[in-house]
Structure 1
Amino acid sequence: MADTVLLRILSSMLILSYGSLQDIKRREIDSIVWQAMVVLAAFFLVLDVYSEGEPRLLIPFIFIVLVGIVFSAGIHHLGLMGGGDAKLLIGLSAMFPLLPPGGRFIFPALFLSVFTNAILISLLIPLWFFISNIRMLPEVRGYRDLLRLFAARRKEAKDVGRFEAVLDDDRLFISTKNVEFGAGDRDGEVWAAPALPFIVFLTAGFVVSILYGDILYILFA
């Protein structure tokens, strides 16, 4: 993979950036985004096998892609990640069957490093919500009220955005399954939680993985 690692990084960055723009605008991405990554990954694999004369490179490719499929499908099934995000993660597993040189990694696969970095970076959002809502701490009457301070903002129903979902008394977080955006027929003040463009965080996680490695390495090394 050494012969094509720079091409893999640059092409992945372009694809992730394009996917991020789509995710910001529509909260979904075209299939061509993850398909392009898979096709390029296969192309680079052929180049590496041909240039190095080493067909055994297929073994880590097949293994990591299978792990990527199982992992991404499981996360998607749990409603923690959208279908486009999951497929893009599979594309990353195909693009990087081996870890790029120079990074400080805990995980044996780059897609796992990117995913965990993305999750850790995205935790800045609940922290920001809590800081914004800290004035409402005196109104907290239970753990549900407390958790909402980390997940949403209180606003008038008419001001709920097209990529925001209302958190009712029986719902604390947005799932990627059966999410309903907007306030519907609600009136008055509601708790509105945004649907985050997770590919933006995947892109940020990818940059950190390439330039440094795992954020967890910083925390626990």
Structure 2
Amino acid sequence: MVSTLDLRITATLVLLIYASVLDLRSREINRLAWQSMTGLGLILLIVDLAASKSLALLITAAIILGIAVVFAVSIHYLGLMGGGDAKLLIGLGAMFPTLPPGTYVLPAFFLTVFSNAIIVSLLVPIAFFLRNLGELRGVRSARDFLRLFIAYQKDSKDLGKFETVLDEGQLFINAREVELGETEDTGRIWATPALPFVVFLTLGFIISVLHGDLIAFIF
């Protein structure tokens, strides 16, 4: 008999892959992914509660979902994530009120998925730095050096539709205010891409299911 955990994992993976395809195509995801994840998670919770009649499970689920909502809203309004990405964290909080089998450091599964996604995404700045090795001779400050990890130079006319211009001295892009594919600058610019974070979230989810927290293996 298929367990509710198997259903949670399978449904979440399908929805994350669907959201990843949308993110790659347009850097936007619709409501279907996170709403389906949240709704199905709550339905499966009812099934588990009916079978176990566990008050502790209900309380745990309510706490985890509450933390997921606060966390997702906070990182979105801080400009660290887009709204669609943040809402997927709420969906993960609803879908996994308890930790699946594995090695965990963090207390909630959605936090494990998020932290694993962040760790995997660190490969991107490393790739940028390797691409920018030829720019080291132009480094004059710590800001110049840090910029090598988050952007790359190109001609303004070649700015892609999923790229934005990094202004002089700027090191942070607000996810809520970013304008993609637009610039009034001419000549050489520093461009940084809008990364399809849902792809990293999907990879983080797969790693979480198979191994648990990467933090536990790194540290």
TM range (shorter): over 0.9
Structure 1: runs of 5+ lacking an equivalent: none
Sequence identity, in percent?
A: 50
The one-letter code of the counterpart of 1:203 is: T
The one-letter code of the counterpart of 1:36 is: S
Alignment partners' CA distance in 2, 1:140 and 1:46: 58
The one-letter code of the counterpart of 2:27 is: R
| Equivalent residue, structure 1, for 2:156 | 157
The one-letter code of the counterpart of 1:191 is: W
Alignment partners' CA distance in 1, 2:137 and 2:120: 29
Structure 2: runs of 5+ lacking an equivalent: none
Contact 2:143 2:169 in 1 (8 A): no
The answer as to 2:171 corresponding to 1:177 is no
The answer as to 2:94 corresponding to 1:107 is no
**Structure 1 length as normaliser, TM-score?**
0.95
| Equivalent residue, structure 2, for 1:125 | 124
1:55 to partner: Cα distance: 4.3
**Structure 2 length as normaliser, TM-score?**
0.96
Number of residue pairs matched? 218
| Equivalent residue, structure 2, for 1:214 | 213
Secondary structure in 2 matching 1:154: strand
Secondary structure in 2 matching 1:151: coil
Task: Using the TM superposition, name which of 172-181 and 203-212 deviates more.
Answer: 172-181
| Equivalent residue, structure 1, for 2:166 | 167
| Equivalent residue, structure 2, for 1:49 | 49
CA RMSD of aligned residues (A): 1.2
| Equivalent residue, structure 2, for 1:4 | 4
The answer as to 2:9 corresponding to 1:34 is no
Alignment partners' CA distance in 1, 2:197 and 2:97: 22
| Equivalent residue, structure 2, for 1:134 | 133
Secondary structure in 2 matching 1:178: coil
| Equivalent residue, structure 1, for 2:88 | 88
Contact 1:174 1:195 in 2 (8 A): no
| Equivalent residue, structure 1, for 2:13 | 13
Secondary structure in 1 matching 2:216: helix
